[in-house]
Structure 1
Amino acid sequence: MKKYFATYFRNFDYLLFFTYIFLCLFGLVMIYSAGMMVGIVYEDGTPDYFYRKQVINLVIAAVVFCIGAFFPYKHYSNKFVMLFGMAMMAILLVWLNFAGFGREETGSQSWIRVLGVSFQPSEYAKLFIILYIAGSFYKKSLKEKSIQYVKPNDIGYPIAIWLIILLSVGLETDLGAFIIIFMIAISVVFLSGIRGKSLFRFFTVLSAFGGVLAGALALFKHDSIFNASRVGRLQVWSNPFAYEQGSGYQVINGYLAIGQGGLEGVGLGQSVQKLGYLPEPQNDFIMAIIAEELGVFGVAIVIGGIGLIVLRSFYIAMTTKDPLARMIAGGIGSWIGFQTFVNLGGVSGVIPLTGVTLPFISYGGTSILMLSLAMGILINVSMYYKKDKKKLL
């Protein structure tokens, strides 16, 4: 054990670790600043309401991070670990469909309550689908001697699990999570190393199934998918200023916050838009407050930090000899990258607003817990990658 820890810290990825810590602490400061008015008016009357809750979230996240960092990533292809993860996913999805809540507030039933604490199963699904598909493909590659020779029919089971998760999330109409989980799995499949012919066959079948799924959702869940909230978001995306007193209110005030910040910002804590003009500024629209208070420099710091993690993830994925490490590292990098794009795209009006958090920065317990576990796993992958690289020199 002593030898393991000595090897671990000798190959520890301090760049990833300190970038992760910095983003979490930066987010904590911005949550305090962005959420102070909401805390005073709508919560317990104190400006540090969300700050205090996020501190608790980060303490728990630190424990989860350590578990991920010290648990050898090779074990995620173990049969019993995969079954445990799948059992947890099944319980959460059943729980969500029968006792979930949130539809009135967010347009999607995407939350459950665990011991009095709200939990979002789709956040767990993002990490689960990376580990499950990567572990399944890796096990198949061991039987075939090389992952290049794995056939589409050999990987049908993990893909079926992924599609069931997508169907469940789609039925609960959590559009942001649906898009991210879809793109994560596609990334892991591409990074697996399967031959082009097999990939073509796989995506042909997937496209056909996707068309049937989209048609079924549109037919049987028409009222939920095309409700006033979602139709309003599409209308706002095309012309937000035509709906400034309705569904475009949040987007327009986000624009005002970004425009007010300019290059240097108005100063930390000095935002005007958080004073009741921008709903829930500590969540999905926290980047608008960062832009207003810290300007372009603040935005660059956040994008630079997240970008560093994503690039480091893909560097490990592209240079490692281990297909399991490649799929896990690339999958985590894809998750963080896609989610950042969806969040910033919605805030800036590049894409329709879908309501996802900004990784490491936005307020939210489930999000920071799952991202911290993912970062721990990524650092564990990096540690083994660096150790194997030294052996080759």
Structure 2
Amino acid sequence: MLKKIIKSYDYTLIVPIFLLCLLGLIMVYSSSMVIASSPKFGDPAFFYERQKISLIVGTLAFIVAMIFPYKIYASSKVLLAIVFGSIGMLLLVFGFGHSANNAQSWLNLGARGIQPSEFTKLSVIIYLAAVYSKKQSYINRFKEAVLPPILFTMTICIFVAIQPDFGTAFIIGLIAIFIILCSGMNMKTIMKLVLLVLITAAILLPVIMIKSDEIFSDERMGRFAGFLDPFGEEEDHGHQLVNSYISLGAGGLTGLGLGKSIQKTGYLPEAHTDFIMAIIAEELGLIGVIFVLICLTFIVLRGFQIARKCSDPFGSLLAIGISSMVAIQTFINLGGLTGLIPITGVTLPFISYGGSSLLVLLLSMGILLNVSMFTNYHANYSNKEQKPQKQNIHQFTRKHASFK
């Protein structure tokens, strides 16, 4: 049985995941070595070493999640622990968190920090997948099936947005929409949900207008100004986007060479986090960009394929949620550095510097691999193992019929 389980793992999915992680580790070192050499950090490998530790811990989490049966996450006790753990961590941020990039979204754990909102993404995916899979028999009953999970998701999004981390709150909301659309609800129920969202938005509009000075701060409005007219705001809010364009265009087909980026020397802020793809384009060229995009696209499409093949509603919705998380985060990151959407501070999956993000992504991929393993195992071996049993029953029946 163990041999059959090992054969059932999707190794074609494991390869691009760790190719991206290794490339990300190399590019974190390359893109951060200049800023890491400054007196503030004092070590060219400062960010590289921290990312390497995150990758090791994330790999261990990946292996455990890959082996651990995913159905246990849907049990009542585990689900309650996930729900209250997520809310508890977000509340701890308000009391004991520290600020980074104008958002109080971090908790210090000794020398390292974690970002609870990153873990909340996976928590929401598990919760929504578990709840909607259990309510399949009455999925269109609005009050009993649809509304409670939505209220939980909205609460999480509000807590994250208050930090403020609008980018992560937006991602969580979009992931929830993907899971809801694939949960089996009919169009009538979905339209009720849309109406509820519109009514909620209308109720919140006066609050938004009262708090407009806080919500629409100069910093946030500056991001929109930089997005709409980056070259007109080149000396201020458009500085990052303009230098991203320069970096994207400088590499050509093959790039300037690994480690030879000019923009990372102080022209492009956040080169090792939100704008690491621009450095990849500059140093590795179009070839490097295409390689990253192919790997990410393969992971997302493979995840949706796993969801389609999985006969278990919980496993299928888990795969949809995890795949949509990678797809949404990739789109928002690349959209920001190319000027398609305003910059939101979202990292590029598996590539950008960020321990919490990498750990959650690898943990999520481990869960996805486990869903895939069970799906492949049941498709390839369960039916075959049942056939001899059926044959033996028929033989037993015929044998005893002959005595009559």
Task: Please report the TM-score for the alignment, with normalisation by the length of structure 1.
Answer: 0.93
8 Å CA contact 1:152, 1:199 repeated in 2: no
Alignment of 1:1-393 (within 5 A): 3=1, 5-102=2-99, 105-141=100-136, 144=137, 151-213=142-204, 215-220=206-211, 222-390=212-380, 391=382
* Paired residues, number: 383
1:323: Cα distance to partner? Answer: 1.2
8 Å CA contact 2:140, 2:146 repeated in 1: no
Change (3 A) 1:214 1:16: farther
1:284: Cα distance to partner? Answer: 0.4
Q: SS of the counterpart of 2:265?
A: coil
Amino acid at match of 2:72: H
Structure 1 window deviating more from structure 2 (105-114 vs 324-333): it is: 105-114
CA distance in 1, matches of 2:46, 2:308: 42
> CA-to-partner distance for each residue in 1:243-292, whole Å, 9 max, x for gaps?
11111111111111111111111111110001111112110000000000
CA distance in 1, matches of 2:205, 2:110: 35
1:151: Cα distance to partner? Answer: 4.1
1:224: Cα distance to partner? Answer: 3.1
Unmatched runs of 5 consecutive residues or more in structure 1: none
Unmatched runs of 5 consecutive residues or more in structure 2: 385-404
8 Å CA contact 2:132, 2:139 repeated in 1: no
1:32: Cα distance to partner? Answer: 0.9
Change (3 A) 1:170 1:212: farther
CA distance in 1, matches of 2:262, 2:209: 41
Structure 1 window deviating more from structure 2 (75-84 vs 92-101): it is: 92-101
What is the RMSD computed on CA atoms of the aligned residues? 1.7
Q: SS of the counterpart of 1:109?
A: strand
1:176: Cα distance to partner? Answer: 0.9
Q: SS of the counterpart of 1:111?
A: strand
1:150: Cα distance to partner? Answer: 5.1
Task: Please report the TM-score for the alignment, with normalisation by the length of structure 2.
Answer: 0.91
Amino acid at match of 1:45: G
CA distance in 1, matches of 2:372, 2:203: 40
Change (3 A) 1:217 1:72: farther
| Greater gyration radius | 2
Change (3 A) 1:60 1:321: same
CA distance in 2, matches of 1:208, 1:296: 46
Structure 1 window deviating more from structure 2 (285-294 vs 113-122): it is: 113-122
> CA-to-partner distance for each residue in 1:62-112, whole Å, 9 max, x for gaps?
11112211111111210001011012112111111223232xx52322222
Amino acid at match of 2:362: S
Q: SS of the counterpart of 1:209?
A: helix
Amino acid at match of 2:295: G
